[in-house]
Structure 1
Amino acid sequence: MSPSPEPLDPIIHAQSRLRIMATLAAVPRGDALVFPRLRGLLGMTAGNLSTHLTRLEEAGYVEQNKTFSGRTPATYVSLTPRGRTAFADYTRRLRALLDDQ
């Protein structure tokens, strides 16, 4: 009998937050996605995406940088190093759980 797998991170495990993390993990380190592009890729409402991003930001997994392009506000979203590590750990644990089946 194999030991029980490590638990999955509940912050990432929520479906919407998992989709956000997976999308941002595909962005090269040092790059970010502008909020409307991320919203479009995920097919989420602005309010729903904002709520989940706030939760991920509170956990230290994402950062949101608000700037202006002329007079137009722009929000850029990216994974933090901690977020990249958390997502890598999450996927490793998920694979271990699936392989144990």
Structure 2
Amino acid sequence: MAEARFDETIHAPVRLRICGLLRPVDDLDFAVLRDTLEVSDATLSKHLKTLAAAGYVSSRKAASAERGDARQITWLSLTKTGRSAFAAHVRALQEIAGSARPLD
């Protein structure tokens, strides 16, 4: 189990949501992530750049079988380091919230 560690990089609301959406999947399409978060391409790119610089998110481009053109899709995933950092951050939030006690 991950040791609790508050992470300022992950804690920003959009970055926290990015990590939460990427955690249960192997990878996710940039457009799906953008639409789910209801942010612009530029906003998502900015937050992904911060997470990538910390070593928490990786990306790859690949052609889509569903597309008839040559454009590629950007696939995003949490790295092993990102998964560990996210788990530690969630644990820290649970400790802060006193997860053993019910919230009113």
Query: What is the TM-score normalised by the length of structure 2?
Result: 0.82
Establish whether residue 46 from structure 1 lines up as the match of residue 41 from structure 2.
yes
1:43-72 CA-partner distances (Å, limit 9, x unpaired): 111110000000000000000112334511
Equivalent position SS for 2:83: helix
Establish whether residue 57 from structure 1 lines up as the match of residue 52 from structure 2.
yes
Name the residue aligned to 1:12: 10
Residue correspondences, number: 93
Q: Shift in Å at residue 8 of structure 1?
A: 1.7
Equivalent position SS for 1:55: helix
Q: Using the alignment, how far apart are the partners of 2:93 and 2:59 within structure 1?
A: 27
Taking only the aligned residue pairs, the percentage that are identical comes to: 41
Q: CA RMSD in A?
A: 1.8
Q: Which runs of 5+ in 1 are unaligned?
A: 1-5
Flag as ranges the 4+ runs of structure 1 deviating above 3 A.
none
My pick for the range that moved more, 91-100 or 14-23, is: 91-100
Which letter does structure 2 place at the counterpart of 1:91?
A: V
Tell which has more relative contact order, 1 or 2 (C-alpha 8 A, sep 6+). Answer: 2
Q: Which runs of 5+ in 2 are unaligned?
A: none
Q: 1:22 is matched with which residue: 20, 23, 26?
A: 20
Q: Using the alignment, how far apart are the partners of 2:87 and 2:56 within structure 1?
A: 12
Which letter does structure 2 place at the counterpart of 1:8?
A: F
Q: 1:37 is matched with which residue: 27, 32, 55?
A: 32
Which letter does structure 2 place at the counterpart of 1:51?
A: K
Q: Shift in Å at residue 97 of structure 1?
A: 1.0
Name the residue aligned to 1:3: none
